[in-house]
Amino acid sequence: MASHRRLADLRASEIGDAVGPGSILLLPLGAIEQHGPHLPYSTDLIVAEAAGEAAVGRVGDEHDVWLLPSLAYTKSNEHAWNAGTFWMSASTMMSVLDDLGRCAARTGARSLVLLNGHGGNTALLNMACRELRLAHGLKTFLMHPFAPPAAGGSSAPSELGMGVHAGHEETSVLLHLRPDLVDMSLAERHVPEELASNRYVKFGGAVSFGWMSDDFDPSGVIGDPTAANAPEGARLFEQSVEMLGVALGEVARFPIR
């Protein structure tokens, strides 16, 4: 991606001319959390950053999109049982987002896009979008490179619609982006099959529930990564970048004042 689309690479003498009311600021949000024995802690951060860079590289000039430095630590307390997980409380994260929103508004840009790579952030970020709109007058949007199954995303057939963490698609995308960080010899299927026959109370069902990632297996995996592969990861990633590019165009034309 052209460096001129990274806001942090601008000089103070440039920002007034470069960023204005028609600009869109894009903030990738990742996580540093366990992803089973086969994927790195940085999985969500890698995906969010790569998708953000690719999308801004593709449509940034057309829609005046500026990439902000990523927020690596987010709300990952469903993985708090694991010693390598670093996470913020919900209240801390809301405060951080409010601080960042205040700074975003000072640039003169009117639109802030939260590009979320961690499904556990989704509910909180939906709330943050409205709070930032109210507090700072920003037009706020929440996008996911890959929506979790509980939010309408896809899941491999072997996952029974419940591939929510370190499963087939996530592993495939990492095999495409950073194969050096993936150890497929440690990939194992762990799907909560006992929930599959439930009509409402299951991952992706109409009734949600509080959960920790080790509730169903000590590995922390909820999905089936065993058939993951890089070509599918490349296809999924390209599909995601295309979607983000179209969505950023719609953000640029969004009609609210």
Query: Tens digits of per-residue pLDDT, 108-164?
Result: 999 999 999 999 999 999 999 999 999 999 999 999 999 877 677 778 889 998 899
**pTM confidence score:** 0.95
Element (H, E) at 166: none
Query: Tens digits of per-residue pLDDT, 83-95?
Result: 999 999 999 999 9
Residue ranges of domains in the chain: 16-252
CATH 3.40.50.10310 fits 16-252, yes or no: yes
Q: What is the distance in angstroms between the CA of the first residue and the CA of the last residue of the chain?
A: 30
Element (H, E) at 139: strand 139-143
The pLDDT of residue 1 is 46
Tokens matching residue 147: 């929506």
Predicted confidence (pLDDT) at residue 2 exceeds the cutoff of 70: no
Sign of CA dihedral 221, 43, 139, 103: positive
Tokens matching residue 131: 């709070």
